[in-house]
Structure 1
Amino acid sequence: MNASYSPSGVCVEAAPAGAHGFDADTPLSLELARQFAASGYQFCVRYLTLGSDEDASDLSASEAQDILEAGLALMAVQHVREPGWSPNAAMGKSDGQNTAAHAKTVGLLPGVNIWCDLEGVADGTAAQDVADYCSQWFEAVSAAGYAPGLYVGSDAGLSGAQLYELPFQHYWQSCSSVPEIPQRGYQMVQTLVPQPVNGIGIDADQTQNDQLGGTVRWQVLTERA
């Protein structure tokens, strides 16, 4: 793995292909994170608040430290609006700025993947409006030093070719039926987990190299107490 940033034993690395992890909408304590690590999970994706005011149920600085201390790598994804929302450029800029600010607050380092959750777009939304939202989100997150990624969920509002034309270089395939990304493909694939694991609901995720050799980038603690 190639480390790109390493203060105080924390760094951002290119993830290997075949790593098993999970995403969860439930805060993890140090004990719970250790249970997942002991169960064979290698990384966790936790949520960042959509609005400007941080929600107590979303990733915090202390939780991020606990996840890393437990031996799990960490990435983050921003919450999405309820199904039937109508994206536009101004919304993308605002959402991207919010998630970049929250990422900095919780201690995520430059270069780590922060994911935009694209799903539930209202029927009839113009593809250009969706693309403008995504591009403005990308620009805001990239300007803050992070590696923007796109989670492609159901009703994303764009075809595979249109998704490929976006500025993203990191794509995450949801467990829904979604388009393939031509010429690139996905760097992470989600699988539905119907039953709770270690007492909480999760979806499973596995990393892979895309067709251009790209990989997800996660944050790890290289020196644990």
Structure 2
Amino acid sequence: MLSGTVAAAQPGARGFDANTPLSDAQAQAFVQAGYTFCLRYVGRTEMKSTDLSAAEAQRILNAGLALMTVQHVLNPGWNPTQALGQEYGANAAAFTKQIGLPPGVSVWLDLECVADGTAASDVVAYCNAWYDQVAAAGYLPGLYVGYAPGLSGQQLYGKLKFKNYWAAYNVDGVSNPSPRGWQMVQSEGHGTIGGITTQAYDADVIQQDGKGGVPMWLKV
């Protein structure tokens, strides 16, 4: 198990999500640039060399960055089903546990680029099945809402079990899960940091949502 404390994320904290492994020097470079937390990826069916490892997670924490995980999404035009939600949710939890993050930490589902014409009921079934698997493992399920999530803001708020929402940089206003709203807001990366370009990371800011909620992270 990784050393650290599960704690409520601090409103106003600046962080980033990265789709590439971080070295000690790169993690330190983000800290020096003013970032205080990081989100790294886990797989849907397997863990690849570019996904988060236990060793990298410890490097991130040792650098002074808080940590959460997010799961890769399928290629654009994918079709969500309840069965996929169960499978991917179970794996998101298992991989996060395998890395060593303790229960209570936020684990995020990436919902975007759903196939045109997908029934809202299929998206709801997928998301809620994913939620159940992650919650059963003791983690806090969160939902990243990107372009074409397949649900309206009213459906995101009213039909899903999630209470933690993260807005993508390209999300449209129709998809705001009002009245709860966002606990984390993404923007495109701000220049190359530690050799990592804006193609490999995006910036994020924590905020309290409309009901006072925030994500939960692991920090030293």
Sort the TM-score into its range (normalised by shorter chain): over 0.9
Q: Distance in 2 between matches of 1:183 and 1:137?
A: 23
Equivalent in the alignment of 2:154: 161
Secondary structure (helix, strand or coil) at the match of 1:76 reads strand
Cα distance, 1:217 vs structure 2: 0.7
Cα distance, 1:8 vs structure 2: 7.7
AA partner of residue 94 (structure 2): A
1:196–1:202 CA contact under 8 A, matched in 2: no
Q: Which residue, out of 9, 34, 47, partners 1:15? A: 9
AA partner of residue 205 (structure 2): Q
In structure 2, stretches of 5+ residues that fail to align are none
In structure 1, stretches of 5+ residues that fail to align are 1-6
Cα distance, 1:9 vs structure 2: 4.9
User: For 1:123-134, what aligned pairs fall within 5 Å after superposition?
Assistant: 123-134=116-127
2:205 is aligned with 1:197: no
AA partner of residue 21 (structure 1): G
- Alpha carbon RMSD of aligned pairs, Å? 1.2
Equivalent in the alignment of 1:219: 218
Secondary structure (helix, strand or coil) at the match of 1:183 reads coil
Moved more, 124-133 or 33-42: 33-42
Q: Distance in 2 between matches of 1:86 and 1:9?
A: 38
Equivalent in the alignment of 1:181: 177
Q: Which residue, out of 131, 142, 152, partners 1:138? A: 131
Distance 1:182 1:8, change over 3 A: closer
Q: Which residue, out of 24, 29, 50, partners 1:35? A: 29
Distance 1:120 1:8, change over 3 A: closer
Deviations 1:64-118 (A, max 9, x none): 0000000000011000000000001000000000111100010111010000000
1:110–1:146 CA contact under 8 A, matched in 2: yes
For normalisation by structure 1, the TM-score amounts to 0.92
Equivalent in the alignment of 2:42: 48
For normalisation by structure 2, the TM-score amounts to 0.94
Matched positions, count: 214
